[in-house]
Amino acid sequence: MNYYKFFIFSLIFFASFYSSANKNNNEIYSVEIVVFEQLEIIGNEEFESQKLSIEGINTITLEDKSEISLNEKSILNSFDFEKNKFSVELMHLNEANTNNKELSEITKIKTYSQIDESKWFEKESKLDQLNNIYSRLNRRKEYKILHKESWIQPALSKENAPYIHEIFDNNGLLIKLYKSRYLHLDVIAYLDGDLSSNTDKKTINKIKFDALKDSIPDEIKDYDIKIDTKIFEKGEIVKPKINSVEASTEAPIRLSEVKYLLKEERRIFKNEVHYFDHPKIGIIISVYSSL
């Protein structure tokens, strides 16, 4: 093993040791990636350009973090106490019991549904588990950091899990985290290619909606929650602010010639750091339970 690989494996060993000490049983995972180029190719192997096709592959792109602002005026106007004439003293005992029972059932739903799918597949450039590795690689002349990212996601079945397509300059990484009996990572990385994917919000929303449905047990009845539509007049109560421009509607590029290509599928364990090696490309991925 040459010195450069020994250096990287040493970093990964200590990072994995730290991650393993923080295990829990949550089925939602935080994923962190660091992609770098190895500037000094070891050995005499020559690489020819290859064609990479992602036609027929279900891909999504991570969403930009959104900010939520509240329209305070609309919220205050929605609380029309005089019109509603609400009084605890006027409520009949049987009404109170019925409301308490419904409240208890709804509380039970919230107890069962502990997931927060709102942040799934949302970009978070801050690294936790891999921050030390990133900093140390970034200081060394033989490596060039190409990309770093983190996000939260569930691990779906192999058939339903999409590839997340991260594009940086003229390079890219497709990563698929799925679970059969064990966790698996399917990784495709390329340098000097011209591939693209549209943000597939329908796929992301379906994953979130299915998870929300599955989190409610069968014994819980359906409840119709009535909302007074007057509170949505002119000024909206909640206004999402998107930090980036909406995704392009142009057709994605699914076939391209690439200069360097890495493809590997691997069974993994959570709360560990995983290294995918290529003479020109290095990828470090951490998959750990998300609180």
pLDDT tens string 106-134: 555 544 446 689 899 999 989 999 999 99
Asked if the model's pLDDT at residue 239 lies above 60, the reply is no
Could you list the residue range(s) of the whole structural domain that residue 244 is in? 3-43+50-77+117-219+238-289
Looking at the domain assignment, is residue 162 inside a domain? yes
**pLDDT at site 247:** 46
Looking at the domain assignment, is residue 39 inside a domain? yes
- Count structural domains, the chain: 1
C-alpha 261/C-alpha 171 separation (Å) is: 10
pTM over 0.75, yes/no: no
H/E stretch holding 53 reads: strand 50-53
- A 10 A CB-CB count for 106 gives 13
The DSSP line for 255-281 is EEEESEEEEEEEEE-SSEEEEEE-SSE
Asked if the model's pLDDT at residue 26 lies above 90, the reply is no
Helices (H) and strands (E) in the chain, counts: 6, 13
Looking at the domain assignment, is residue 107 inside a domain? no
> How many residues in the chain?
291
Task: Please give the mean pLDDT across all residues of the chain.
Answer: 78
**pLDDT at site 49:** 95
Looking at the domain assignment, is residue 95 inside a domain? no
